[in-house]
Structure 1
C-alpha cells in the first residue's frame, strides 16, 4: 500500500513538473520577441552615442545624434525586410539553412556597404530634392530627418504585416514628400525622379527576364538532355564562371577603384580572366561531385547547391552596396549640411555613417529576417536549387548594373521579380508542353480550364498583394514624411 501511494505521488509530481515546464516554455516563447527588440534598442543607442562622440564638438550636434538614431533604426528595418528577398530563394530551395543564410548575408552585406556603397548615397541625399528650391539649410535638414523617420516607420509596419515592400521606394517617397511639404512641388527634381521611377519598372521586368532566360538555358542544356549528368558537367562550370566573372568585374569597379583608377574595359578584362580561372577550378570539382549520381533531376540539385550559395553571397554584396544608401543617405546629407552649412556639391560619406548602415542591416537580418525569408522562399512559387540559382544570379546582375549606374533601384523588386519570372516561365513552359502533347495525341484527355487555373505555379494572391504593396509604398511614405516634416518645423523652426 505505501508503494502504491508513493507511485501516485510520483505521478502527481511528474504532472506538476510538466505543467511548470509548459509554463516555462510559454514564457520563453512570449519573451523571445522582446530579446530582438532589446538588442535593436541597444544598437540604436550605441549609434547615437557614436554620433555624439564623433560629432560632439560641432554645433547643433543633437540633430546629428537624432539622425544617427533614426538612420540605425532604418538600417535595422532594411535588414529585416529587404535582405529576405536576397536569401529567400536559397533557403526555400534548401540549399542553405536559415542560420547559414543569415551568416553569409551579414558578412556580404557589410562588405558591400563598406567597400562599394558610396556612389548611390549621393543620389539619395541630393538627387531628389533640387538644392536651388530649398534655400534654408535647416529646412533641408528637417526634410531629411522626416524622410528617415517616415521611411523607417513604413518599412517597420510592412515587416510586421509580412509584406516585402521596397525600402528604396520608402526612402525616395519620404524625401519627395518632405521636399514638397517644405517648398512645394518645385522642390522635387522631377527629372531625377522620372529616371528613378523608370528604373523601378525596368528592374523587376529585367530581373524576371534574366531569371527566365537562365532557367530556359538550364532546361534546354541540362534537364532535357538524355544524359543529364554529362550535360551538367559541361554547363554548371560555365554558370559558375559567369557568376564569378560578373562579381570580379563589379568588385574591381566599385572596390578597387577607390585605390586604383580602373576603367570599364580593364574591369571587364579582370572579370573575364577571373571567370576563366573559376571555370578551370570548377570543372574538376563538378566532375568529382557528379560521380555516382543517378541520371535524374533530383541529382542535379546537388550540383547546383554550391553555385546557389555563391550567387546568394554575390547578391548580398550587391544589395549592401546599393541599399545602404536607403539607411545612411539622408543621414549623410544631414551630417554634411551640419558640417559645411550647405547641401550642394558632392557629399563625402563619413566612415562611421557607413558602419551604422552596414551593421544595422546585419542586425536587422539576424533578429527579424527569418519571417520574410520563408515567405519569399516558399510561398510565391516552388523553388529548387536550379530555379533559385536563376533568381539569385539574375537579381545580382541587375542590382550590380543599377548600382554601377548610381540608380537607387529596389532590390525587392528585382529579387521578387526574379521569383515571379521563374514561376511564370514554368507556367508558360508547362502550357507549351501540354499544347505540344495535345497536338501529338489528339485523342488524349484534355484538362478543364478551371483545373488549369488551379494548377498555376505562381500564387496569384501573393502576386496581387505584393504589387499592391509596391504601388502604395511611395504615396504612403510621402504622406507620412510630409506630416512629420510639418510637425518638426512647427516644433523646432
Structure 2
C-alpha cells in the first residue's frame, strides 16, 4: 500500500523542478542578447592575435595589434550597416528570405573583397589630407588610428539608431578630423571635400529619379496594360537585358579594378554585348515562366524574382570589391607605417588585413545585419519584386553615370535614395490617380479615400532620421576623430 505522505513530497519535487526550469529559461532569455556581442568580441580578439603572430615582437607591434582589433570592429559594423542596402530590397520584396539573403551576401561580399578587392588603397581617403603636411610617422599612425576608431563607432551608432550611412563618408570624416587635429586646417583638400559634400545630394537624388523612372516605365508598359502577360513577355526581357548590361559595366568600372583595368568606354561596349546576349536568353525563359499565369499584377511578380536575386548578388560582390578596401585603408596605412617607418599616399593591402575585412563583414552581417535589412527592405516603404528590381537597377546605372561625369557618389546613398524615389513616386502616382478618378462617390467611399490620402507611402520618421544621419556623418566623425587623436597623443 502506498504511503500517503509520499504524495506531498512528489508535488514539492515537481514544484522545485518547475522553478529550476523557469530559472534556466530566464537565464537563456537574458543570455541570448549577449551571444552576438560575445561572438563579435571573440572575432576582434582573434584579429588582434593574428596581427601579433604576423608582427611578433617587431617595433610597433602593439600598435598594429590594437589597429587590427579596431579594423575588425570596423568590418563588423560595415556588415551590420552597409550590406543592408544591397539585400534589403530583395528581402522586403519577399524574393529572398532573411537567411538566404545573409548567406548570399556573406559569400558575395567576401568573394568581392578577396578576389577583386583593390591591391592598393589610398591611405588618406582619395586625397583629403596632404601627406606632406604630416611630418612624423608616429603622428600619422595616431591620426589613422583615430580615423579608424571614430568611423567604426559612428557606423555602430548609426546601426543602433537604425540609419543606413555611408561607410566611405564615415572614413572620410574620420581622416579629415584627425588630419586637422594633427596638421591644421591647411592640411585638408577643401576642393575634394566640397565634391564629397555635393555627393550627399547627388547620390540619393540620382538614384531616386532613375528608380522612379523605371517604375513608371513598368507601370505604363506592363502593369496597366489590358493584357499584362503579353506586355510582360515583350518588356521583361528588355528590362533584364538592361540590368545585365548595367551590372556588367558596373562591375567592370567599380568591382574588378584588381583583376583588370577597364576604361568606361570599353566597359560600356562589354555591357551592350552582355545585354544583347541576355535578351536572347531571357525571351524564351519569360515565355516558359509566364505560361498559365493569370492576367493580374500579382502574377508579374514571379517574373522579376530571379533577376532581383541576381542583381542583389552582383551588388554585394561589387560592394565587397570596392568598399572593403576603403574601410581597411586606415588599418593598411598603420601596418605599412609601422613596418617600414614611412607613410605614403597609397600602400599595398596585406592579405591578412583584407581577410579581416572580408570575414568581419560576414560576421557583422550574420550577427547584426537583419535590423538594417528590414529597415531598408520594408520599413521605409512597401516593396514588391518590381519596385525592388528598379532599386537595384538604379544603383548600377547611377554609379555608371557618376563615373562618366566624374562625380564622387556613395553606393549607400544611391540605394537608399532609390528606395525613397520608388516610395515618393508611388505617393505622387496614387495622388494623381485619385484626382483623375470619378468624384461622384458615396459618402462612405469618399471618407475611405480621404483616409487613404492621409496615409503616406513613405514613412517620414525614417526619412528624416536617415537624411539627418547622412548630413552629420562627416562632421560628427571628424569631431569624434579629432577628440580621439588628441586623447591618444596626450596619454600615449
Q: Offset at 1:77?
A: 0.6
- d(CA) in 2 for partners of 1:272, 1:184: 48
1:249 aligns with 249
Counterpart CA distance in 2 for 1:315 and 1:102 is 13
SS at match of 2:122: helix
Give the Cα separation in 2 of the matches to 1:207 and 1:247. 15
What is the aligned partner in structure 2 of residue 385 from structure 1? Answer: 385
Contact 2:60 2:339 in 1 (8 A): no
- Contact 1:241/1:276 (CA < 8 Å) preserved in 2? yes
Question: Does the C-alpha gap of structure 1 residues 119 and 460 become closer, same or farther in structure 2, counting only changes over 3 Å?
Answer: farther
- Give me the whole-angstrom Cα distance separating, in 2, the residues matched to 1:37 and 1:121: 29
1:308-329: per-residue Cα shift (whole Å, max 9, x none)? 1111112212222332134201
Paired with 2:101 and 2:293, the residues of 1 have a C-alpha distance of 26
Using the TM superposition, give the Cα deviation of residue 467 of structure 1 relative to its aligned residue in structure 2, in angstroms. Answer: 1.4
- Give the equivalent residue in structure 1 for 2:162: 162
What residue is the counterpart of 1:273 in the other structure?
273
Deviation, 1:222, is 0.8
Q: Deviations over 1:92-125 (max 9, x none)?
A: 1111101000011111111222344328942754
Counterpart CA distance in 1 for 2:390 and 2:13 is: 57
Which residue of structure 2 lines up, in the alignment, with residue 90 of structure 1? 90
Q: Does 83-92 or 217-226 show the bigger shift?
A: 83-92
Alignment partner, residue 371 of structure 1: 371
1:75 is displaced (CA, Å) by 0.6
Cα distance change of structure 1 residues 220 and 251 upon mapping to structure 2, 3 Å threshold: same
Q: How large is the Cα RMSD of the aligned pairs?
A: 3.1
CA contact (8 A) 1:79 1:369 kept: yes
Match of 2:328 in 1: 328
Which whole-Å CA distance do the structure 2 matches of 1:395 and 1:373 have between them? 16
CA distance in 1, matches of 2:338, 2:123: 19
Give me the whole-angstrom Cα distance separating, in 1, the residues matched to 2:428 and 2:217: 15
Residue 306 of structure 1 corresponds to 306
Give the CA deviation at 1:169.
2.7
**How do residues 36-75 of structure 1 correspond to structure 2 at under 5 angstroms?**
36-56=36-56, 58-75=58-75
Give the deviation of 1:293 after TM superposition: 1.0
Q: Contact 2:77–2:156 at 8 Å: present in 1 too?
A: yes
Compared with structure 1, are the counterparts of its residues 405 and 43 closer, same or farther at alpha carbon in structure 2 (3 Å cutoff)? farther
Alignment of 1:337-486 (within 5 A): 337-399=337-399, 409-437=409-437, 451=451, 454-486=454-486
Shift of 1:366: 0.6
1:481 deviates by: 0.9
Which shows bigger deviation, 360-369 or 176-185?
176-185
Structure 1 contact 395–415 (Cα < 8 Å) conserved = yes
Aligned to 1:235: 235
Checking the alignment, whether the CA contact within 8 Å between 1:311 and 1:396 is kept in structure 2 is no
Deviations 1:178-207 (A, max 9, x none): 111112111211111112222222111111
Alpha-carbon distance between aligned partners in 2 of 1:240 and 1:29, rounded to the nearest angstrom:
46
CA deviation after TM superposition for structure 1 residue 220, in Å: 1.0
CA-to-partner distance for each residue in 1:344-377, whole Å, 9 max, x for gaps?
Answer: 3432222222221111111100111111211221
Structure 1, gaps ≥5 residues long = none
1:143–1:449 CA distance, 2 compared to 1 (3 A):
farther
Matched residue, 2:177: 177
Give SS of 1:347's match.
Answer: strand
Name the stretch that deviates more: 11-20 or 203-212. Answer: 11-20
* Deviation readout 1:128-186 (Å, 9 max, x if unpaired): 11112222222111111001111111221222232323323322111111111112111
- Partners of 1:147 and 1:122 in 2: CA distance: 14
Change (3 A) 1:18 1:240: farther
Partner of 1:100: 100
Return the offset for 1:30: 2.2
Distance in 2 (CA, whole Å) between partners of 1:10 and 1:414 is 66
Q: Distance between the aligned counterparts of 1:321 and 1:402, measured in 2?
A: 18
Q: Is the 8 A contact 2:112 2:318 kept in 1?
A: yes
Alpha carbons of structure 1 residues 389 and 135: separation in structure 2 relative to 1, 3 Å: same
Q: Quick check: 1:124–1:325 contact (8 Å CA) kept in 2? A: no
> Cα distance 1:50–1:219, how it changes in 2: closer, same or farther (>3 A)?
same
Q: Could you list the runs of 5+ residues in structure 2 that have no partner in the other structure?
A: none
Q: In the superposition, relative to structure 1, how do residues 348 and 402 fare at CA in structure 2: closer, same or farther (>3 Å)?
A: farther
TM (normalized to structure 1)? 0.90
- In 2 relative to 1, CA 10–158 (structure 1 residues): closer, same or farther, beyond 3 Å? farther
Cα contact 2:119–2:349 (8 A) shared by 1: no
**Residue 255 of structure 2 contacts residue 319 of structure 2 at CA under 8 Å; is this kept in 1?**
no
Secondary structure of the equivalent of 1:118? coil
Q: Distance in 1 between matches of 2:166 and 2:195?
A: 17
1:216-265 deviation digits (Å, cap 9, x = unpaired): 11111110111111111222222222222222233344566545554433
CA positional deviation for 1:295: 0.6
